[in-house]
Amino acid sequence: MKKIIFWTALISILGLLIGACSKRSAEDATTAFVESCDDTTASGSITIGSDTASGTYLHLTSNESYNSLPATGCSQSAYDGTDPTLPPGHNSILRKKIITSSTSFVDHVSYYSDTACTSRLGYLEKRYSNLSVGDTVSGLDNSSGGRPTSGYRVTYKPECAKIMADTDAAMVTFNTAYAAFFHIYPMTTGTEKAFCETWACQVQTYYSIWGAGDNGTTFSIYQAMGGSAGYDPSDWDANSGGMTFQK
């Protein structure tokens, strides 16, 4: 009889411990991966060599660059189903860079069903902080897009991101693509969701090359796509290619 009471009590205690651990795990997941990401408005400025960048910059597309047109941020991009992070039915993408302080910026991308970036399907904003502009990099290729022959080593860390789907199809795509970050709290259509951009937010460091220039009409930010330590870019088109932003 004493053995029965003992084992009954032990099972009850184990049940309570398992329940507590499960609850704590869910709480930890919520705390670690559901972040606030409200500060995505233009503010402050970033010094790049002798130039100062501030405000919001639109992506200069290849078509605009080739035809010497002002940047609109909008590029045609027909959906072909090869990239699982892109919402189905999109036909254009709008990209812009927002300077939020002297050490932080936001990369914004939104997707549209038409070719003129008017009928939005959803968007994603990534905020980066701890930005540091370092040494000069010389001998860069300026044969494409009028980019300078020198730039600056730049490092920054992912801070947070926020995402929203305007359609159910985009919501399904985003939930699948970012499931590891959303855990048991998937996003819903029409509701913005904040999360940590990577598993190592504020730990991982990105390496890039930035440059800037003012031709009297437009101010440009030139960016080589960043990588991690050991994979930092060596030229404007290193890694997956560079981008130019203008205002």
User: Which parts of the chain register pLDDT below 70?
Assistant: 1-36, 144-145, 198-200, 215-218, 239-241
Q: Residue written as tokens 């036909």?
A: 91
Q: Residue written as tokens 């233009």?
A: 42
pTM, entire model? 0.81
pLDDT tens profile 212-243: 887 655 677 888 877 777 778 888 877 666 88
Answer for the pair 99, 105: CB distance below 8 angstroms, yes or no: yes
pLDDT tens profile 85-113: 899 999 999 999 999 999 999 999 999 99
Rounded to whole angstroms, how far apart are CA atoms 83 and 80?
A: 8
Question: What are the sequence ranges of the domains in the chain?
Answer: 1-33, 36-246
75, amino acid identity: S
Local structure of 23: helix, strand or coil: helix
